[in-house]
Chains A and B, each alone.
Chain A
């Protein structure tokens, strides 16, 4: 057994700030303001790229302007269960046609471009998902070295098939892949690599990573208008770290000057602990789930940069969860009725759209904001097969009875797909908990108004009062 440790957590903790500063090229301190807040817009404006620059960088990298398709059969299917006159038209943005097979290429394009501009020799990203393949592909195109750090195996050396597929893709593009066993210390392994290589931190949470998605929101609005003569009434994003929703909403609101319902959708993995070695291989989704969605909404700055540019509560209008079985069902429906095979995680928002469309008038447009590529490992068949191998039962029945890690409940009928609305006030209260032992100033409340997408400071004061009272009771 190797007993040598390459790094010490204590040493890295003490130098964390310096390592991040050197590897992102952003001095985050300059955006800090009095009290709890910071200047988000100033940070976003300082990337050095205009919206047109981002469009150009992406176009030159074989990214963006992906097709927007109307899912006519899926829409007709949803209408079978909708009241007369209801059943909005469901459109899907086929992001799988980007370089590397997902919308993540939009984020990687801007980050890697910046890395090259700043003179870095390589880039590093900590990700088990599509973002790794995206960074690796862009690094390959730009002649930069690339290391992707994945959480991949449990302690018995058993890997999630979906993550192995991502590793394969990264290596196909020439990247070095460092695959780790389960645990949040991945962050330290990542810091250590940044430290010893001097590479750029292609963080999903830097302003570059978010600015890259603004084009997606913009394209959704313009393409919807061009195809239907209407603007979208709702856009649904599969939500994990919050960047997808943040960037898309900014594209819709700031770049296309449109206002619609920004809806987040996550797979419900409640009860499974994200840092648990035992639970790791009992989940059938490695992203787009509540295990990331909730903590990142409540505390966006828990990421790998001091101030995350992904701030979901700033842009979410509604947040829904859906069970694993329903997402697999809708993935199957997409292939069976539309002839479109796409990766399951990206279809989380499709499952939610299918239900919500039934509550919206027929002439309205609802846009499912992404698809992702599919293939070996990354498909509902290997994922369901893997679930069975790990003792998870696949049963048909009421999706509301699903217990993540124990079973996957597939609906018998599309009518039984069930979505659950999350209370945003509850998330806002969890966000406020860390301030419970202090008092908030007028300045703080002004910041929170923006941060929470609320007009009413009085309501925030009430929420904070409730947090304080609940704390006093405990």
Chain B
């Protein structure tokens, strides 16, 4: 997919390869690269998942792999957690007493 110059995107880059990482860190961390994700405006027309350049909010030009176009925030309140209802019930009961009439 070709993405137009000027689009707001997210890129990813590897800052350190596994062999470049610190020695005294857990194995699970050391065997994977240190990655960075940055958002900004695309400086040139680019293929999705190909190398590209962006300009960030502070005006830095950063190179990396184009990963996402028009990125947004998808965090939310998660799935229903029945345990919260159970907590609420026991707190209300313990504090206000039973109101079953």
Residues of A within 8 A of B (CB): 1-9, 73, 76-77, 80, 122, 145-147, 152-153, 155, 161, 164-165, 167-168, 171, 174-185, 189, 196-197, 273, 275-278, 328-329, 332-333, 336-337, 376-377, 379-386, 388-389, 394, 396, 410, 412-414
Q: CB < 8 Å: which of B14, B17, B22, B77 contacts A183?
A: B22
B28 at the interface (CB under 8 A from A): yes
| Given contacts A376-B76, A381-B84, A176 and B58 within 8 Å (CB-CB) | yes
The smallest C-beta distance from B91 to any residue of chain A, in angstroms, reads: 5
The smallest C-beta distance from B81 to any residue of chain A, in angstroms, reads: 5
The smallest C-beta distance from B47 to any residue of chain A, in angstroms, reads: 15
Can you spell out 14 A-B residue pairs with CB atoms less than 8 angstroms apart?
A9-B20, A77-B95, A147-B58, A176-B40, A179-B38, A180-B34, A183-B34, A196-B60, A332-B91, A336-B91, A384-B84, A385-B77, A386-B78, A396-B83
Q: 8 Å CB contacts to A: which residues of B64-101? A: 64-65, 73-81, 83-84, 86-88, 90-92, 94-95
Count of B residues near A, CB < 8 Å? 50
B1 at the interface (CB under 8 A from A): no
The smallest C-beta distance from A420 to any residue of chain B, in angstroms, reads: 21
* Residues of A with C-beta under 8 A to B59: 145
Once the chains bind, are A183 and B75 in contact (CB under 8 Å)? no
The smallest C-beta distance from B32 to any residue of chain A, in angstroms, reads: 4
Once the chains bind, are B83 and A394 in contact (CB under 8 Å)? yes
Please report the C-alpha to C-alpha distance between residue A382 and residue B83 in the assembled complex, in whole angstroms: 12
* Residues of A with C-beta under 8 A to B64: 2
Residues of B within 8 A of A (CB): 12-17, 20-22, 25-26, 28-29, 32-40, 51, 56-60, 63-65, 73-81, 83-84, 86-88, 90-92, 94-95
| Given contacts A9-B20, A153-B37, A332-B87, A122 and B58 within 8 Å (CB-CB) | yes
The smallest C-beta distance from A187 to any residue of chain B, in angstroms, reads: 10
* Residues of A with C-beta under 8 A to B75: 161, 164-165, 168, 376-377, 382
Once the chains bind, are B88 and A336 in contact (CB under 8 Å)? yes
Please report the C-alpha to C-alpha distance between residue A174 and residue B58 in the assembled complex, in whole angstroms: 9
* Residues of B with C-beta under 8 A to A175: 57-58
Once the chains bind, are A377 and B76 in contact (CB under 8 Å)? yes
Once the chains bind, are B81 and A384 in contact (CB under 8 Å)? yes
The smallest C-beta distance from B48 to any residue of chain A, in angstroms, reads: 15
The smallest C-beta distance from B43 to any residue of chain A, in angstroms, reads: 15
| Given contacts A277-B26, A414-B94, A2 and B57 within 8 Å (CB-CB) | no
